[in-house]
Structure 1
Amino acid sequence: MIVDGVEMREIREADAAGLAEVLDRNRAYMAPYEPVRDEGFYTAAGQLERIEALLADRDGGRVRPYVLIGGGVPIGAITLNTIVLGALRSAAIGYWVDQAWAGRGVATAALEELCRIARDEVGLHRVEAGTRVENLASQRVLAKAGFEQYGLAPRYLHVGGDWQDHRLFQLLLNDEPPAL
């Protein structure tokens, strides 16, 4: 349990239908922050395909995908992406929460737990995340979890139908030298 009534666990193929439902219900809410998606993305079959790809990437050590469960159904997701080991020991984080659960501390608690996993289980030195300049709510989540802004990336991601500027944040997890 990461916060009252919400569990964070590794994503499973069985989550496909629930994720499709919550993503479809939140289309308008998430549209400014997401790439333009085809209709198949919002179906159980589309989510199953996406989950299978995430699990293959997990098995290859490139991602750690998690789902957030509230009231017995998916209400969000958080993923440690583009894991790089060696001298960098870094990864990017992406997350979203159902609009009905926003503002309850779910994203902050999930982010803190994922940072613990990144440090203690994956052995990372740092994690990073980016938000659209206008996404003050996500910037507050990152700040509450201890992230600090380190840059501005013009036209960073194609989301909301156009190339968007993003604020970049990082959290240094430890200063241990990488294992050789």
Structure 2
Amino acid sequence: MTIPVLRDGSVAIRPIRIRDAKTLERELLDNRAWLRKWEATNPGGPVGFDAKASIRSLLAHSRSGHGVPFIIEVDGELAGQLNVSGMSYGSLSSASIGYWVAERFAGRDVTPTAVALATDHVFFGLGLHRMEICIRPENAPSLRVVEKLGFRYEGLRRRFIHINGDWRDHFCFALTVEEIPEGVLQRWRDGRVPATAGRVPDADRTAAERPLRLG
């Protein structure tokens, strides 16, 4: 699978490369306090992080058609990472997005621009039908991303992903290509995202504040 370079203004997403490993490691270490509480973890216990091995795994998924791994750049500087994963075709034709950005780029519309570029590529470049984003209820900046881009709220998933050492609830959002024929980026730039887009019902916000009873 050929991964393109996609750009809007100063923000670009480009294919990840093995030679990005050292820069990625440095950014992840420098932003440890900023990113740690949102990082996926292994329920079986801590494992070491090897940037080169991680990149090789992402590239292998790309070659098999199951993912599209991007680096996020701002004015040519590495600003974060965005991965399209879980890609399936045929009757499902869907994928999901995960991402992170360095703290110094937060609040500059870098993340929504990157997500919009990637989603438009998956819809109009790869021909998939649906994109999903799952976000922890506590992650206000990411919740703002889906509000800005008009992702539709689909529900609360209890204990969905292992994050920062435990199973965490997530709010899930999605878009289908039929909902945005002009593209995610264009609709956002034109100011035509519905005012209620991405809003989580109060009942689900309340439910997410209460631990799930087990047993």
- Cα deviation, residue 81, structure 1: 0.3
8 A Cα contact 2:11 2:114, kept in partner = no
Task: Give unpaired runs (5+ residues) of structure 1.
Answer: 176-180
Task: Find the residue that maps to 1:83 and give its secondary structure.
Answer: coil
8 A Cα contact 2:31 2:102, kept in partner = yes
**Residues 139-158 of structure 1 mapped to structure 2, 5 A cutoff:** 139-158=143-162
Task: Find the residue that maps to 1:174 and give its secondary structure.
Answer: helix
Q: Is residue 88 from structure 1 mapped to residue 92 from structure 2 by the alignment?
A: yes
- Cα deviation, residue 6, structure 1: 2.8
Task: Give unpaired runs (5+ residues) of structure 2.
Answer: 1-5, 180-215
Please list the CA deviations of residues 124-156 of structure 1 after superposition, one character each: whole Å capped at 9, or x if unmatched.
111001111111110110121120111001111
Please list the CA deviations of residues 87-124 of structure 1 after superposition, one character each: whole Å capped at 9, or x if unmatched.
01000100111011001000000011001111111111
- Gap change, CA 1:35 and 1:51, over 3 Å in 2: same
Corresponding residue for residue 178 of structure 1 = none
Higher relative contact order (CA 8 A, sep 6+): 1
Corresponding residue for residue 73 of structure 1 = 77
Task: Find the residue that maps to 1:91 and give its secondary structure.
Answer: strand
Corresponding residue for residue 134 of structure 2 = 130
Corresponding residue for residue 198 of structure 2 = none
Corresponding residue for residue 20 of structure 1 = 25
Q: Is residue 174 from structure 1 mapped to residue 178 from structure 2 by the alignment?
A: yes
Corresponding residue for residue 31 of structure 1 = 36
Percent of matched pairs sharing the same residue: 36
Write the distance in 2 (CA, Å) between the matches of 1:39 and 1:13.
Answer: 20
Instruction: Return the match for 1:8 from 13, 20, 36.
Output: 13
Larger radius of gyration: 2
Alignment RMSD (CA, Å): 1.7
Corresponding residue for residue 168 of structure 2 = 164
Normalised by the length of structure 1, the TM-score is 0.89
Normalised by the length of structure 2, the TM-score is 0.75
Letter in 1 for 2:139: N
- Cα deviation, residue 40, structure 1: 3.9
Corresponding residue for residue 57 of structure 2 = 53
Write the distance in 1 (CA, Å) between the matches of 2:115 and 2:148.
Answer: 10
8 A Cα contact 2:11 2:113, kept in partner = no
Q: Which of the two has greater strand per residue?
A: 1
Write the distance in 2 (CA, Å) between the matches of 1:92 and 1:153.
Answer: 15
